[in-house]
Amino acid sequence: MKTRKWFYSIMASIGILGVIVMFNSCGKSMDESGNGNSHLDVYLTDAPADYQAVWLDIQKVMVNTSSEVLTDEDSGWTEVPMVRPGLYNLLDFRNGTDTLLAGVDLPAGTVSQIRLVLGDDNSLVLNNGETVPLSTPSGQQSGLKLNIHSELVAGIPYALVLDFDAARSIVKAGNSGQYILKPVIRTFAKEAGGAMEGVVLPEEAKALVQAINGTDTLSAIPDSTGYFKFWGIAEGSYQLIYLADADSGYDNDTTDNVQVTAGEVLKLDTVTLMKFATMQ
């Protein structure tokens, strides 16, 4: 697979950001006694990355229902039973696809944090087919910890999606050739926000689709049919930019003022990129 020069330049300009948490809870008010349970499911999805595979060894999912942000040494963590501990290829879960990681019944109240505990078998498959280890900094050995601060209401089920941005989460360490995992994760309620989906053609253009809303930029790599999807995104006006591979011979395209409404899936018109105009 040919390396996409434009992809790396874009990701380099974006930089490595911290963990972004957007968890919007909804439902009825807690009963006066505060008793009862709520069911919490945790899902995994992925933003695009220009690799053949990104394998994460996810061994545990844990939550903390304390109203305060706790350190790794504090008690109060509850392990959420996983559907299947082990290896997950993040690139299997793109364009609105997700997978259920874990689920648990919890007492009604505050969920302050969630933590993913990784094993040692994390790896990356480069575009040339080479498999390389994916190192995790020592400070993350206790798990990838996300602050949430949301209320679980008795009798109301919740679905939390961990949107793992693989491209911005993987850093090549200088000239050593080592790849390091520095997670950038967007977290949102499964039914929160809006969504938009569309198709960009032809496949030979190898397009990257960007959705820009103010200072926020999201990216998607279409599948082999050209299909892409953004979901769990904030309501508002977006500019969509269709960036063709610089070596493909196709022009870029832009659509302005795309309106996203919370709770709705916007179906976009198919975009067909055109070949460069040639000089006679």
Which one is predicted more confidently, 47 or 211?
A: 211
Distance CA 5, CA 23 (A): 34
Same domain, 182 and 262: no
Considering 156, 176, 192, which residue would you say is the last residue of a domain? 192
Same domain, 168 and 213: no
What pLDDT does residue 102 have?
A: 94
Place 37 in a pLDDT band, splitting at 50, 70 and 90. confident
Considering 135, 164, 192, which residue would you say is the last residue of a domain? 192
Residue 138: give its domain's CATH number: 2.60.40
Distance CA 227, CA 140 (A): 35
What pLDDT does residue 21 have?
A: 35
What pLDDT does residue 28 have?
A: 33
**Residue ranges making up the domain that contains 278:** 194-280
Same domain, 61 and 37: yes
In a domain, 32, yes or no: yes
pTM: 0.65
Which one is predicted more confidently, 270 or 9?
A: 270
DSSP E strands in 221-278: the ranges are 227-233, 236-243, 253-260, 265-267, 271-272
What pLDDT does residue 29 have?
A: 32
